[in-house]
């Protein structure tokens, strides 16, 4: 575990009602009711999961086919929302996400945001936006009394060099082990076990913002498909098998996140990846399979609520 420097753990001045930004309607995720984040922040725990590199088409197909029941059971209407990523690779996308720029709905906007730094002239800060007066969402939530925790996955979160310390350094507490990384066939279950430990150690009255960067979808992922080989490499099919692997353990993460109180959850991809489409392989490039990502937001009922509370 790594603790952030003192400047990152101190209180931040947070204001929840914009003054210079134009107001707009509350936020709406496809198939879900409007969400006023000014009412959520301070009363709910918060969970943000980035399924690193997950393609929208693969996520959509598996949900429709019943192959990811733990995730699909939480998706509004049982379907992923189609969105556009703010970046084409992990670093760029997460810098935007941690500034309050989540993946944008694929239809024409403007689209009100859940979180936003105070910024004069913003056209996507709405009545229901949680507005903070800090440089990033993580410190804004810390200023609102949240314990901010990062469980990293891909190399940008590994703290093994200066670049790998930037994103986890936003958080008061960060975790990364080789077992969480892209080369581990058991990465997600290891991350979930750490998340369970984090939640169990937190005082009951302390609000939690838990961020998990899931590495299992990222290359290499061939080892998640029985019969696949290192020599044959990754494919759209091994990518799908990796998502099925993640889904098998997702229920444990949701249970831990909502074990103390109601939890507002966001589950999305940060970018997709190409497997030969139009001659492209990988990401950090401009292609439909990279820019288009799955997104969902929903409520996880607390321990004293029925399973139907969402």
pLDDT tens per residue across span 189-226: 999 999 999 999 999 999 999 999 999 999 999 999 99
pLDDT at residue number 9: 39
Average pLDDT of the residues in 179-183? 96
Half-sphere exposure of residue 70: CA atoms within 13 angstroms, side-chain side: 14
5 pLDDT above the threshold of 60: no
Question: Do residues 87 and 250 touch, judged by C-beta distance below 8 A?
Answer: no
304 pLDDT above the threshold of 90: no
**Residue 82: helix, strand or coil by DSSP?**
strand
CA-nearest of 209, 203, 148 to 4 is: 148
Residue 292 or residue 125, greater confidence: 292
pLDDT at residue number 282: 76
**How distant, in Å, are the alpha carbons of 13, 173, 186, 193, 272 from that of 103?**
26, 25, 27, 27, 12
pLDDT at residue number 34: 52
pLDDT at residue number 25: 38
Residue 15 to residue 115: CA distance in whole angstroms: 12
180 pLDDT above the threshold of 70: yes
* 8-12, 52-56, 273-277: segment of lowest average pLDDT: 8-12
* pLDDT level of residue 70 (50, 70, 90 thresholds): very high
Report the DSSP pairing between strands 115-117 and 104-105.
unpaired
What would the pLDDT profile of 99-152 be if each residue is shown by its tens digit? 999 999 999 888 889 999 998 778 888 889 999 999 999 999 999 999 999 999
Q: Is 155 left (phi over 0), alpha (psi -120 to 50) or beta?
A: alpha
Q: What are phi and psi for residue 100, nearest 5 degrees? A: 95, 5
Q: Which residues does 41 contact at the CB level (< 8 Å), separation at least 6?
A: 16, 130, 141, 144
CA-nearest of 301, 299, 308, 296 to 59 is: 296
Chain mean pLDDT for the chain: 88
Helix 56-64, helix 236-257: angle, nearest 10: 70
Q: Which two tokens stand for residue 157?
A: 């979160």
Give percent of the chain with pLDDT exceeding 90: 78
pLDDT at residue number 4: 52
Alpha helices in the chain (DSSP H): 6-9, 37-40, 56-64, 69-72, 90-97, 137-143, 163-166, 187-201, 236-257, 288-291
pLDDT at residue number 11: 34
Class of domain 2-300: alpha beta
Residue 283 or residue 16, greater confidence: 283
Give me Rg for the CA atoms of the chain: 18
Question: Do residues 148 and 171 touch, judged by C-beta distance below 8 A?
Answer: yes
Residue 257 to residue 110: CA distance in whole angstroms: 31
- pTM score above 0.95: no
Alpha helices in 3-136 (DSSP H): 6-9, 37-40, 56-64, 69-72, 90-97
Question: Do residues 161 and 142 touch, judged by C-beta distance below 8 A?
Answer: no
186 pLDDT above the threshold of 90: yes
Question: Do residues 149 and 210 touch, judged by C-beta distance below 8 A?
Answer: yes
- Length of the chain in terms of residues written: 310
Question: Do residues 68 and 62 touch, judged by C-beta distance below 8 A?
Answer: yes
Q: How many beta carbons lie within 10 A of that of residue 197, not counting itself?
A: 14
Residue 192 to residue 213: CA distance in whole angstroms: 11
Give percent of the chain with pLDDT exceeding 70: 87
* pLDDT level of residue 266 (50, 70, 90 thresholds): very high
Q: Which two tokens stand for residue 206?
A: 């302390």
What would the pLDDT profile of 223-257 be if each residue is shown by its tens digit? 999 999 999 999 999 999 999 999 999 999 999 99
């Amino acid at each position: 575990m790594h603790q952030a420097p003192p400047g990152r753990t101190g209180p931040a001045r947070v204001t929840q009602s914009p003054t210079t930004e134009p107001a707009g309607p509350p936020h709406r995720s496809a198939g879900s009711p409007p969400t006023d984040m000014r009412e959520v922040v301070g009363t709910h725990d918060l969970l943000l999961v980035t399924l690193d590199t997950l393609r929208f088409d693969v996520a959509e197909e598996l949900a429709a086919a019943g192959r990811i029941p733990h995730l699909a059971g939480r998706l509004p209407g049982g379907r992923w929302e189609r969105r556009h990523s703010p970046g084409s690779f992990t670093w760029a996308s997460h810098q935007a996400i941690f500034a309050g720029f989540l993946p944008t709905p694929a239809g024409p906007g403007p689209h009100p945001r859940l979180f936003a730094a105070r910024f004069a002239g913003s056209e996507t800060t709405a009545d229901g936006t949680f507005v903070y007066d800090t440089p990033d969402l993580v410190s804004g939530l810390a200023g609102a009394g949240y314990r901010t925790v990062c469980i990293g996955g891909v190399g940008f979160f590994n703290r093994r060099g200066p670049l790998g310390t930037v994103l986890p350094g936003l958080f008061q507490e960060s975790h990364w082990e080789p077992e969480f990384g892209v080369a581990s066939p058991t990465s997600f279950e290891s991350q979930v076990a750490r998340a369970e430990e984090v939640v169990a150690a937190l005082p009951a009255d302390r609000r939690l913002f838990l961020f998990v960067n899931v590495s299992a979808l990222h290359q290499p992922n061939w080892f998640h498909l029985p019969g696949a080989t290192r020599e044959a490499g990754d494919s759209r099919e091994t990518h799908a098998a990796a998502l099925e692997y993640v889904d098998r353990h997702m229920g444990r993460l949701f249970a831990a996140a909502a074990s103390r109180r109601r939890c507002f959850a966001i589950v999305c991809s940060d970018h997709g990846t190409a497997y030969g489409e139009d001659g492209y392989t990988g990401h950090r490039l401009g292609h439909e399979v990279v820019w288009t990502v799955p997104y969902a937001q929903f409520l996880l009922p607390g321990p004293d609520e029925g399973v139907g509370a969402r």
